[in-house]
A and B are shown apart, each in its own frame.
Chain A
Amino acid sequence: MTGAALLVLADGRFPAGGYAHSGGMEAAVASRSVHDAASLAAFCRGRLHTAGLTAAGLAAAAAAGHDPLMLDGAADARTPAPAVRAAARRLGRQLLRAARATWPSPDLDLLARSRPQGVHQPVVLGATARTAGLAPLDAARCAAYESAAGPATAAVRLLGLDPLDATALLARIAGEVDDVARAATDAASRVTADGVGALPAASAPLLDIIGERHAARTVRLFAS
């Protein structure tokens, strides 16, 4: 395993299309529920401990080699809002395209063939990490970090915040990202014995509601 592969995968410049999504931040800013550094931090922490924990569990399980299609079904059950599901599949499709070019493997080719409409992004992330020789904890850390970093980065553009404030926030919650990644990896290690029900299913009502609100808007900067 190569530690630098984690840096490639987690790099915001990795061409997987994440920059086009705000993880609900655009809708939260539009409704003024996020308007300053404090509400930004509350949003990012809330997303990390709900959608981020769930994504990290799926990523860790995929990186451990569990059936990605089974995990995709588990992701569907954990993502009741169609707009959030559609965004996760679109991001999964884009990540898979970039991953197959970066780390060619028959496993990723098979995954692309078996679900042309896309697989949930965290599942693809885990499968990619596995192909790149990374551990389940690496994949979980990547997913957990992205769950907070995506909206934090989007907020810089949406609110005109100082980018240094957003980066300082991510540094401040780095310990929580690690905790979430560890909890997710522990849960993923129980999938063999207990099935996908062992994976986290942390939910956030407002993320689902604002996700649908955002999808219904005709004018928007971010896809989700």
Chain B
Amino acid sequence: MTGTAHLPLTAPAPPGHRPRTGAEEAPVTAPAHPSGTSVHDGRNSPPSGVHATARVRAGHNGRTTTVPLLHSDGPFHLRRLRPRGTRARVGVIGAMSAPLGGDRLALDVVAGPRARLEVTTAAATLALRGPTRAPATYDVRLGVGEGASLNWLPEPLISTRGSTLYQTCTVELAPTARLLLREEQLLGRTAEPPGLLSSRLTVRRDGQPLLDQHARYGEPAPAWDGPAVLGPHRACGQLLAVHPRLRPERRPLLIEDDPATGHAVLVPLPNAPALLVTAIAPTPARLRRLLDTGLAHILAAASGAEAGMVP
């Protein structure tokens, strides 16, 4: 099977939302979204929230990386940023407060063969309680083709009190694809209990499962704050690097292991040139420091592999 055969590349989903029928529902007030493009009209329909799918597609034209598709939708406003070296860069700018309960949000990013792309977000993503306690969904789908390189480095996701968010990040890598992915989750703003955050990260390489991790934090997830899962920590994250020149036989490394400053471990994944940093920390700043330290170790492990891997 080739890596490009299963990229989530072409499915032309309808842009945005459509209000559905709902004659049995009482009229409700519109959710508090400042922009109205994708919000239902709030009359004779349930508070279904925003349905939006934004898309980025990068390719390589033989000389350089191009970004022929940049489709903003709903809360996602996409912007071309200044390239760094040969790497094209795209920023995701939140154009409204999202995700709120009831929202159905998706972001599709494809780096076609030989493309070099970095996608970042301008600010933290804030999961908020919507007009109902209905869950919001946020699905990120990343596809990286043969010889292509993708950096997905969003700012943290913050789960706030009363919110329910089901997030997924699904990555399809071609056998020679390169990936640098960082995910950070903050459970509650300062001194606030979090909502419920369900976050699943699924990475397949050449069609085979490489990493599958499903975290559930916040009430009513059982024992999420106990000594087997997060303990007292409220910031957690992962950094995943896949690069053909990483040596998978590397020994695991405890980067930090102190309840006061956090815990982080760097491990090789089986059957692939991939390294993973898993970190938990008392504060967002400490979490980022642990992940940055992990990245420094990864870059040292890949010494000279690719300068452009640096975010």
CB contacts under 8 Å to A, within B121-153, are none
Instruction: Find the B residue at minimum CB distance from A195.
Output: B209
Taking the nearest CB of chain A, how far is it from the CB of B55, in angstroms?
A: 22
B226, A212: Cβ atoms under 8 Å? no
Q: Which residues of B contact A76 (CB under 8 A)?
A: 209, 269-271
Q: Within 8 Å of chain A (Cβ to Cβ): is B166?
A: no
Q: Which residues of A contact B280 (CB under 8 A)?
A: 205-206, 209
Instruction: Find the A residue at minimum CB distance from B269.
Output: A80
CA of A224 to CA of B213, assembled, Å: 21
Q: Which residues of B contact A (CB under 8 A)?
A: 200, 202-203, 208-216, 221-224, 226-231, 236, 252, 254, 257, 259, 263-265, 267-271, 276, 278-280
The prevalent SS among residues of A at the interface is helix
Taking the nearest CB of chain B, how far is it from the CB of A139, in angstroms?
A: 20
CA of A44 to CA of B227, assembled, Å: 9
The prevalent SS among residues of B at the interface is strand
B214, A201: Cβ atoms under 8 Å? yes
B270, A45: Cβ atoms under 8 Å? no
Q: Within 8 Å of chain B (Cβ to Cβ): is A122?
A: no
Name the one of B202, B224, B252 contacting A82, with C-beta atoms under 8 angstroms. B252
B208, A80: Cβ atoms under 8 Å? no
Name the one of A49, A85, A200, A203 contacting B222, with C-beta atoms under 8 angstroms. A49
Q: Which residues of B contact A43 (CB under 8 A)?
A: 223, 226-228
Q: List 16 A-B contacts (CB under 8 A).
A: A28-B227, A46-B224, A48-B222, A49-B223, A50-B229, A76-B270, A77-B209, A77-B211, A77-B212, A82-B267, A204-B228, A207-B228, A209-B278, A209-B280, A212-B267, A216-B254
Q: Which residues of A contact B (CB under 8 A)?
A: 24, 28, 31, 33-34, 39, 42-51, 73-74, 76-78, 80-83, 85, 176, 196-197, 200-209, 212-213, 215-216
Q: Which residues of A contact B270 (CB under 8 A)?
A: 76, 82, 85
Q: Which residues of A contact B208 (CB under 8 A)?
A: 73
A206, B230: Cβ atoms under 8 Å? yes
CA of A216 to CA of B279, assembled, Å: 18
